[in-house]
Amino acid sequence: MKSIKYIKEQNQGISAILAFALLPLSGFATDIYIPSLPTMAATMQVSSLQVQLTLSLFLISYGVSQLFIGSILDSFGRYKLSLICLLVFAASSIVIANTQNIYLIYLMRIIHGFTVGTVIVAKRAFFVDVYEGDKLKHYLSLFSIIWSTGPIVAPFVGGYLQTVFGWESNFYLLAGLAVIMAILEYIYSGETLKKFSVFSLKKIISVYIEMIRTTSFSLGIIMLGLAYSMVMIYNMTGPFIIEHHFNLTPVVAGYSSLILGFAWMVGGFIGKATIDRPFFKKMAANLVLQMLFVALMILSISFISNLYSLIFFAFIIHVTAGYIFNNYFTFCLSKFPRNAGIASGLTGGITYVVVSALSYTIISFLPAKDEVNLSASYLVLSIASAIIMYTIYKLSGRTESASIG
């Protein structure tokens, strides 16, 4: 134990700032190169579907890592693993920036997912290790707000980098940020875990099986996946529509993603503001609005088809998706208060796996071509959401509905 470098008390404040700074890393790793997807496809002479797979592979590995990495961090500590992962993330980013081989990029993106998953889970655990009471609640309430800055800012920055320096610059920036954060972590941070637990795969699996067998919990995760898939499908198809169909620049694609990032945040804030409303009533009303907006988007395409109409309808649809995500994330975590940590990891992990599978499957049938395909994708997800939510309502019954509300 003498070799463990524990965090110094005087460095807890700056370490908390560093932890917050790392929370948006997943959003940056996902969204910064979104405006560059068309250019990457053209440069490497691969299809749009092939380059879109780099997003899906990241999401799958990021999701899978969250399923088990929490237990590993509880057994072996947070500090060294997250520090190593930052350096590995930086190295893999540099490899991506220096290759034209799409399959090597696939491998590096899988490594990105696992390393980012480790860092994010470790930094969430940091606050639980160091703080307690009202201060801990205050910090935890900031998580989703700070995380959402990644998807908002990243494509905006990436659009400019793509235009001025080329798509490779996105990954050089990711590498540079990771190295800087690793240096600051080495100087100011340290181990925060006081009691190392014994790693028991059997115990973890038994808890996971119990949770997955709870149908309303499993279907709640599917709802999360359907909601976030709306955002991910736009991320995969939007730049191609804007740059190829409308013949606009990557900078415009970046600005568009910036606006839609705010839509997701607005949905989350509305969800927080209506937290005391009856659960299934507000979710039903939200889904009715979502399906109405999707129908209006489909009907409007015959009369108007431009960037402004695309962003307008995508914005209001993404607000409803953000609202669903905010409410169902709370719904899922509240199912297992005694195993909140494992429930959080399972919820986040499976959600990202569902998102990657759903989004990639849908764009395989409805490729990134125009607003017609995008609106059709929204319609598929909206109908599926309505079916799943109705099933959850029937399974939960009126008693559970009243207790949640």
For the chain, give every domain's residue range. 1-195, 200-405
**pLDDT level of residue 341 (50, 70, 90 thresholds):** low
What CATH number is given for 200-405 in this structure?
1.20.1250.20
What pLDDT score was predicted for residue 339? 59
Residue 331: alpha-carbon gap to chain centroid = 18
How far apart, in Å, are the Cα atoms of 232 and each of 7, 38, 129, 229, 378? 37, 16, 33, 5, 11
Our CA angle for 249, 318, 161, nearest 5°, is: 30
Q: How many CB atoms lie within 10 A of CB 61?
A: 22
Exposed, middle or buried by CB within 10 Å (0-12, 13-18, 19+), for 391? middle
For 78, phi then psi, to 5°, come to: -95, -40
Between these two residues, 239 and 379, which has the higher pLDDT value?
379
Other beta carbons within 10 Å of 207: 16
Instruction: Give tens-digit pLDDT for 46-64.
Output: 998 899 899 889 989 998 8
The domain made up of 1-195 is a member of CATH 3.30.465.10: no
- What is the pTM (predicted TM-score) of this model? 0.79
Residue with the bigger pLDDT between 399 and 33: it is 33
Least trusted range by pLDDT, from 83-87, 133-137, 256-260, 381-385: 133-137
Q: Please compute the mean of the pLDDT values over residues 363-374 and round it to a whole number.
A: 87
For 256-309, the pLDDT digits (tens) are 988 998 898 888 888 878 878 888 899 999 999 999 999 999 999 988 889 999
